[in-house]
Structure 1
Amino acid sequence: MLTLYSYPELFGVADNNGYGLKVFAWLRLAGVPFVHEHLFDASQAPRAQLPYVTDDGVAIGDSEAILAHVRRAYGVTLDDGLTEAQRDTALMVLRLLDDLYWVMSYSRWKDEAFWPQFAAALKSQHPRLTDADLQAAQAFNAQRYHYQGIGRFAPAQAYERGLADLAVLARLVPQEGFVFGPTPTATDAAIYGFLANIHFYPIETPLKAFVSGQGNLVRHLCDIHARIQSGPAAG
């Protein structure tokens, strides 16, 4: 049985990290049965990063490597009908989401305007987390942000970057249907993975204000959210 290991849920979203939620949504949309296990500690994961999967005793890390493995092993055809131009667009969306990730994460762990609300929410839903756990995670993330670069930005500058990413997605996602037509693809799962972790959170960051103000993005998120609430996952 395929097992997905990812960070815990929060605010009704199955994973509070965009990459793990992307994989979760994609597996549900693809109809692939899997067990979902939540972890806080990624130290034993491939590259010490979540998400990862195990399949027949083999551990596979990196969200795109996971999707590639499952496509081959389980015959997933969600993206089979895409044109070369659409595949190019899909890759550019993935890279844009990589950029958005840092701003979204910054809004939780770095920006003192929102960090207390995020920390309180984590402790409320996951009581085993201590203040020491959260302070250690905050310090770890601050180091990551510094070396990546986003941590050297003031909040207004960081959000300007994230809002530019979101504006592109708002122009890409249609009013009806999905990015490449009437059925969702991996691109829709990826967009959901990151934007659900903004829109469904009751923490009023500038990112949330933008997403929640775009009817097409909200409609897309709610559609995917409804489709993946029940599916072939065990555990």
Structure 2
Amino acid sequence: MLTLFSYPDLSGVADNNPYGLKVYAFLKLCNLAFRHEHIFDASKAPRGQLPYLVDGDEIIGDSDAIIAHLIEKYSLTIDDGLTSSQRDTHLLVRRMLDDLYWVMSFSRWKDERFWPLFRDLILRSHPGVTPDTLEKAREFNFKRYYYQGIGRYEPNAAYARGIADLRVLANLLPRSGFLFGEKPSSADAGIYGFVANIYFYEIDTPLKEFVISHANLVAHCRSIHTAFK
């Protein structure tokens, strides 16, 4: 059986990292049977990153590579109806979500207004995690943010960047249905992975304030969230 290794759940979503939740949603939308193993330590994962998938003797890291592998190996039809233009849009949305990731992560680990709330939420939700472990993870993330660039932003400037990404999503998504029509594609799994980790998050960040003010973002998120409950 397929086994997905990803970060633990939080605030009612199956993975508190958008990339792991993206793969989880894709597997669910495609009705593929799988085991879901939650881990915190990514040191033994491919490239030292989560999520990764074990499929027999194969170990695949990176959410896009996992989805591409599953589509090819299991002849999945979830994206079969997409036009060339829609596939281009899908790629652009994925790259934009990569940008949004850094702002989401910044809001949890870097922003002094929200860090204590996030820390306490993790400790309440996962008693096996220690404050020392979180502090070490925070120090590691600070280094990542600095070299990526978002760590050099003031909070308001960082959120402006993330909200610009979310505004594009709000402009692209219809009032009901999915990005490319009545049926979800793999692009919708990716959008859900990010928006759900903002919308269902218990802490009211500027990103969450934007999402809840846009009915189509909420409707899209909830439609996928309830599809596999």
Which category of TM-score, normalised to the shorter sequence, fits these structures? over 0.9
> Is the partner of 1:60 in helix, strand or coil?
strand
1:232 is aligned to none
* Number of corresponding residues: 229
Q: What is the Cα deviation at residue 99 of structure 1?
A: 0.2
Unaligned runs of 5+ in 1: 230-235
CA–CA separation in structure 1 for the residues paired with 2:57 and 2:136 = 32
Unaligned runs of 5+ in 2: none
After superposing the two structures, state which structure 1 stretch, 133-142 or 66-75, moved more. 66-75
2:39 paired with 1:35: no
Contact map agreement 1:45 1:61 (CA 8 A) in 2: yes
1:92 is aligned to 92
Q: Give the aligned CA root-mean-square deviation in angstroms.
A: 0.6
Whichever residue aligns with residue 6 of structure 1, its letter is S
Q: Give the TM-score taking structure 1 as reference length.
A: 0.97
Whichever residue aligns with residue 74 of structure 2, its letter is Y
2:65 paired with 1:65: yes
1:130 is aligned to 130
CA–CA separation in structure 1 for the residues paired with 2:43 and 2:98 = 21
Whichever residue aligns with residue 137 of structure 2, its letter is A
> Is the partner of 1:182 in helix, strand or coil?
coil
After superposing the two structures, state which structure 1 stretch, 34-43 or 66-75, moved more. 66-75
Whichever residue aligns with residue 123 of structure 2, its letter is K
CA–CA separation in structure 2 for the residues paired with 1:129 and 1:123 = 6
Q: What is the Cα deviation at residue 228 of structure 1?
A: 2.2
2:184 is aligned to 184
Contact map agreement 1:32 1:74 (CA 8 A) in 2: no
Q: What is the Cα deviation at residue 72 of structure 1?
A: 1.4
Whichever residue aligns with residue 48 of structure 2, its letter is A
Deviant stretches of 4+, over 2 Å? none
> Is the partner of 2:116 in helix, strand or coil?
helix
Contact map agreement 1:19 1:51 (CA 8 A) in 2: yes
**Which one has more relative contact order, counting CA pairs under 8 Å at least 6 apart?**
1
CA–CA separation in structure 1 for the residues paired with 2:185 and 2:228 = 13
